[in-house]
Structure 1
Amino acid sequence: MQSNALTPDEYVEQLPEDRKLAINALRKVILENLPEGFSEVMSYGMIGYVVPHSLYPDGYHCDPSLPLPFLNIASQKNFVAVYHMMVYSDPTLHEWFVAEYPKYTKAKLDMGKSCIRFKKVDQIPYQLIGELATKVTVDEWVSRYEKNYKR
């Protein structure tokens, strides 16, 4: 479900109370832990953390007018989602996350390529998401992106 909100705060205001609390907690832990250089924006109808054009002028290859996406959080119809591009593109980081996940929650891991889904907001491992946010710098993400995605 994409939102028409223009700002992350507006996005959160449109959510039901339980989702509002979860998304705000995710925003807080991500912003406290994300390395310097990423910016919080609305991206693809979700709250996004991107490499701004000021640091990566080429932007996103699918639409160079957009900044390079890295991480998104969203309240979907049946779950809260964290989309993390490096978990998808770096097998070592993926393996780390999968191994760490059971240490933080009893919930079964529900994960696609870059999407980590949480059907119950009380089972979101905020501390683990915060740690995941620390794992990749802007330079590391740009390097991985250029190696794997940019055509």
Structure 2
Amino acid sequence: MTSELDPFHHYLDSLPLERRKPVTELRNVLLHHLPPGFSEVISGESLAYVVPHTVYPDGYHCNPTSPLPFISVISQKNFIAMYHMGLYADTELLKWFISEYPGYSKTKLDMGKSCIRFKKIDNIPLEFIGKLASKMTPSEWINLYESVVKNRS
């Protein structure tokens, strides 16, 4: 039985059975590849990888009591979504992602501004997601956030 003290396993156990393995694999890839300084938290109905207040005391401009979001993973009704704020803010990273994606996945890229939708949940390009996760440090994200995202609001 999962302890109440372990919100991550509680979150994973709350997912439909067919979603647990792919979300767990995605979580493991992110934990392994994200540079040091990001923290994993539960945010609403998602796993989130954030810059904690200990690193960036200002927090998220929309809600300064929240840490600065970077990546979120959520199990939606018809797909698993990964939100990557770096793709939203960094046009060069977005160009790299779009151009390289076909080399790692047989499925067509389905994405919005920061949202990547995985409809074939057994074919998430985990190796590629690991490469993406490793491309930006917390300090690089903070600098980009302050120069691009915060000013858009």
Give the alignment of 1:123-138 within 5 angstroms. 123-138=123-138
Residue segments in structure 2 that go unaligned for 5+ positions in a row: 1-5
CA deviation after TM superposition for structure 1 residue 14, in Å:
0.7
Runs of 4 or more above 2 Å deviation: none
Residue segments in structure 1 that go unaligned for 5+ positions in a row: 1-5
Aligned to 1:99: 99
CA deviation after TM superposition for structure 1 residue 23, in Å:
0.5
CA offsets per residue over residues 72-124 of structure 1, 9 Å max, x none?
00100110011000011111100111111111111010000000001111121
Give the alignment of 1:104-123 within 5 angstroms. 104-123=104-123
CA deviation after TM superposition for structure 1 residue 8, in Å:
2.3
Aligned to 1:13: 13
Structure 1 residues 42-51 or 28-37, which shifts more?
A: 42-51
Superposition CA RMSD, Å: 1.1
CA offsets per residue over residues 14-68 of structure 1, 9 Å max, x none?
1112210000000100000000000000124210000000000000001100000
Q: What one-letter code is carried by the residue in structure 2 that aligns with 1:128?
A: F
Task: State the SS of the aligned residue for 1:149.
Answer: helix
Matches of 2:105 and 2:25 in 1, distance apart?
Answer: 16
Matches of 2:139 and 2:123 in 1, distance apart?
Answer: 32
Give the alignment of 1:59-74 within 5 angstroms. 59-74=59-74
Aligned to 2:29: 29
Identical counterparts, % of pairs: 54
Q: How many residue pairs align between the two structures?
A: 146
Matches of 1:128 and 1:79 in 2, distance apart?
Answer: 18
TM-score computed with the length of structure 1 as normaliser = 0.93
Matches of 1:65 and 1:88 in 2, distance apart?
Answer: 22
Matches of 2:140 and 2:43 in 1, distance apart?
Answer: 21
Matches of 2:38 and 2:131 in 1, distance apart?
Answer: 16
Task: State the SS of the aligned residue for 1:105.
Answer: coil
